[in-house]
Amino acid sequence: MNLYETIGSDLKEAMKSGDTLKRDTLRLLQSAIKNMAIEKRKPAAECSDTEIEDVLRRLVKQRKDSIEQYRTGNREDLAEKEASELRLLEAYLPQAMPESELETLVKATLTASGMTDKTQMGQAMGVVMKQVAGRASGDDVRRVVERLLV
C-alpha cells in the first residue's frame, strides 16, 4: 500500500471513529496532494511517495511557522491546534536523521569541499541538502552548517 492509499484508509477510519481533528487534517492533506497532482497533470493516486512527502514537508513547515506566530501573538489555543495537526502530519513522514548523524555528514561534506567561511553558506547548503535528500529539514541543515562554518 502506497502513502496515498494509507492516507485514504486513515481518513476513512477517522471518519468512522468521529476523530474530527484527524479527519480534517487528513482532508487538508488529501486536498494538497490533489492540487499538486493537478499541477503535474496526473491523477493523485499515481503520485509517488516522494512527491507526497514533499507535500507533507511543506504542510509541516507551515504548521511550525503558524505555531511560532500564534505563540508570539499569545494565541496558545490556536498554537495547540496547529501542534496537534503537526503531530498527525509528521507521522506520515519518514524518520528524520538524528542530529549527531547530520552533524557528522555536514562536517565530512565541508571538509571534502574545502568550505570554511560563512560566505560559502549557500554553496554548503546546496551540497548538504543534496546528500540528506529529505532525511533532514532545511532549517536543521542550516543550523548545523551555520554552527560549523566560521
Predicted pLDDT of residue 133? 75
Q: Which amino acid is at 55?
A: V
H or E element at residue 36: helix 20-39
CATH number of 99-148: 1.10.10
Summarize the confidence of residues 111-117 as an average pLDDT: 82
What single DSSP character describes residue 95? P
pLDDT at residue number 71: 95
72's grid cell = 508570539
Please state which CATH number belongs to domain 3-90: 1.10.1510.10
Sorted by where each begins, the domain ranges of the chain are 3-90, 99-148
Q: Model pTM greater than 0.85?
A: no
- Phi, psi for residue 41 in degrees, rounded to 5: 55, 55
pLDDT tier at 97 (50, 70, 90 boundaries)?
confident
Write the pLDDT tens digit of every residue in 40-78.
Answer: 999 988 889 889 998 999 999 999 999 999 999 999 999
Share of the chain above pLDDT 90, in %: 53
